[in-house]
Chain A
Amino acid sequence: MAAPLLSIVDLRVRIGGSQILHGVTFDVPASGVTVLLGRNGVGKSTTLKAVLGLTPAGSQVTGSVTFDGVPVTNTATHRLVRRGLGYVPEDRGIFAGLTVAENLRLAERVAEPDYDTAYGLFPELKQRARQRAGTLSGGQQQMLAIARVLLNPNRLLLVDEPTKGLAPRLVTEVADVVTRVAQTVPTLLVEQNLALVRRVGQDAVVLAAGTVAYSGPIAALLEDEALTRSLLGVGHHHNRTGAA
């Protein structure tokens, strides 16, 4: 078995007096999409933020994170990102007051950013280059947030609920993009939409009560309806929303 790209060991996070993660341990392999699942509020986004060093001021983070064999637990966020960690946050994190072009320019980390890929996937962004990002629709903002990480060569993408709050048509579109991007860059994806998860992911990590409750192939998890229901609180066979 190949060495994992990202290795998280006993990650514990305490924010403002409440313990969010109680010792999370899992690996992200160097290819494909690993999906991070779990009920709302279980700490999926916090896990990504803790890896990046983006937890709020005053929070306590312990445990170790290793990226491509190098310990990065106390590495500054911008240094970690410069090592090839692309982040698409849950709230999209676009800069509303800047134009679309400025949002993209800000994200450039290399001398020759890959605008061909970004504009190739999202031609709409090129047409709207001079528009203020705050006036874009939710779907367009999500495209901008994804396009931003595609400008640079990344070794791992951390993508947090890219389909959240999007119309079904856009969910399909974003799912297509995530699938295509994942063919070239390994991705750790937080996603609630099980239809999408089934389509794009290979491995699943399920969080429950601040620890890892399941780690293994997605297919095995979703086949076990009782397990799925107990861990995720949904009967996915009846879940008809989203991309199917």
Chain B
Amino acid sequence: MSTFILLLLTGLGLAGLYFLVASGLSLVFGLADVLNFAHGLFLSVGAYAAWWAATSLPGAGADGPGFVLAVLFGVLAGALFASIVELVLIRPLYRRTIAQVLVTVGLSLAGVALLQVIWGADARPFPRPAWTSQATVIGGAVVPKSSLLLVGVSALVLVGLLAFLRFTRVGLVIRAGVEDRAMVTALGIDVRKAFTLVFAIGGAAAALAGVLAGIHFTTVSPAQGGSLLIFGFIVVVIGGMGSITGTAWAAAAVGLVQQFVNYYASGLGDVCVVALLALVLLVRPQGLAGTTEGAHA
């Protein structure tokens, strides 16, 4: 039983990380039809910005309020970077899907290379509060506190995103835009303003994932964003483009499958995740929460 609880909570922690990466991808794809391969870079920008802040920014540090400040700095850097990417690189290329893929792939390669030039390719220890490396006993299982942190923070982001989409005017525009973008403009709404905001939100969530990945895996490295992005894409495809609840369910499924399978058959977790992806594509190609109508018009 204690093993089950341990795998459940660490699996959900992983799921939380995947959700944070995938939620922005899903909204950006659902609303703006942009396949953003630079999304992993948003994660790295957040992680490195928080790392830099914790070591160099006055007032910020690796513990207490100083650490919160470092995390906020990282998240803001991610949001700002994502907004700039949207305004400068993506905006001139709307309706040109291939060009967007090329520019985001290129940006992602260049960004990772730049991080390597500045801070080296090796993983660096991530500054983090001491308690995040401790464990606590839940139902007989010794659970790392960092897993609980991941579960808690991602759950808060999930609730916050759902409330934002449900109760605000911009959230209404985003939900409608995911269904039929052209019709939103035909109601007199400048849907492109929502695009920038969705990029900023996605960038902030990815940056938060970068910071939490740094805490959880104890290090930060230039390639981290790219490897988490792969699972982010898998989650988005399984969950259905443009649906936050679908993304959350899919993230939970992927995280739990990976963790449970890896425990009983080490190394097979990733294979099973890909098998799950294939199964969903065969049985329900529009994803768990997707409708058969696309967001295209």
CB-defined contacts of B176 to chain A, threshold 8 Å: 95, 98, 102, 106
- Total interface residues on B, CB under 8 Å, equals 20
Query: Is A235 in the interface zone, CB < 8 Å from B?
Result: no
Q: What is the interface of chain A, defined by CB distance below 8 A to chain B?
A: 52, 54, 57-58, 76-78, 81-82, 87, 89, 93, 95-98, 102, 105-107, 109, 148, 152
Given contacts A78-B186, A81-B186, A93-B186, 6 further A-B contacts (CB under 8 A): A76-B190, A81-B187, A95-B175, A98-B176, A98-B179, A148-B187
- Identity of the chain A residue whose Cβ is nearest the Cβ of B95 in the assembled complex: A57
CB-defined contacts of A102 to chain B, threshold 8 Å: 172, 175-176
Please state if B179 and A77 are interface contacts (CB–CB under 8 Å). Answer: no
- Identity of the chain A residue whose Cβ is nearest the Cβ of B188 in the assembled complex: A81
Most buried by A among B95, B173, B179: B179
Interface residues of B in 172-206 (CB under 8 A from A): 172-173, 175-176, 179-180, 182-191
Please state if B95 and A78 are interface contacts (CB–CB under 8 Å). Answer: no
- Identity of the chain B residue whose Cβ is nearest the Cβ of A53 in the assembled complex: B185
Query: Known: A97-B179, A98-B176. Is A82-B186 also a contact (CB below 8 A)?
Result: no
CA–CA, A87 to B187, complex, Å?
A: 8
Query: Known: A93-B183, A97-B179. Is A78-B191 also a contact (CB below 8 A)?
Result: yes
Interface residues of B in 248-297 (CB under 8 A from A): 291, 293
CA–CA, A148 to B186, complex, Å?
A: 11
A to B CB contacts below 8 Å, 10 in the list: A52-B186, A54-B185, A57-B95, A76-B185, A77-B186, A78-B186, A97-B291, A102-B175, A106-B187, A106-B189
Please state if B186 and A106 are interface contacts (CB–CB under 8 Å). Answer: no
CA–CA, A95 to B179, complex, Å?
A: 7
Q: What is the interface of chain B, defined by CB distance below 8 A to chain A?
A: 95, 169, 172-173, 175-176, 179-180, 182-191, 291, 293
Q: Name the contact of A97 in the complex, choosing from B95, B173, B175, B186 (C-beta under 8 A).
A: B175
Please state if B172 and A106 are interface contacts (CB–CB under 8 Å). Answer: yes
- Identity of the chain A residue whose Cβ is nearest the Cβ of B242 in the assembled complex: A97
Distance from B183 Cβ to chain A, minimum over Cβ atoms (Å): 4
- Identity of the chain A residue whose Cβ is nearest the Cβ of B184 in the assembled complex: A106
Q: Name the contact of B175 in the complex, choosing from A54, A89, A98, A107 (C-beta under 8 A).
A: A98
Distance from A67 Cβ to chain B, minimum over Cβ atoms (Å): 14
Please state if A95 and B186 are interface contacts (CB–CB under 8 Å). Answer: no
Query: Known: A57-B95, A102-B172, A106-B172. Is A78-B179 also a contact (CB below 8 A)?
Result: no
CB-defined contacts of B293 to chain A, threshold 8 Å: 96
Please state if A96 and B187 are interface contacts (CB–CB under 8 Å). Answer: no
Please state if B187 and A107 are interface contacts (CB–CB under 8 Å). Answer: yes
CA–CA, A85 to B165, complex, Å?
A: 28
CA–CA, A152 to B189, complex, Å?
A: 13
Please state if A98 and B172 are interface contacts (CB–CB under 8 Å). Answer: yes
CA–CA, A82 to B190, complex, Å?
A: 10
Distance from A121 Cβ to chain B, minimum over Cβ atoms (Å): 19
CA–CA, A81 to B291, complex, Å?
A: 28
CB-defined contacts of B190 to chain A, threshold 8 Å: 76, 78
Please state if B188 and A95 are interface contacts (CB–CB under 8 Å). Answer: no
Please state if B172 and A82 are interface contacts (CB–CB under 8 Å). Answer: no
Q: Name the contact of A93 in the complex, choosing from B169, B173, B180, B189 (C-beta under 8 A).
A: B180
Query: Known: A82-B188, A106-B173. Is A54-B179 also a contact (CB below 8 A)?
Result: no
Query: Known: A93-B180, A96-B179, A97-B179. Is A54-B186 also a contact (CB below 8 A)?
Result: yes
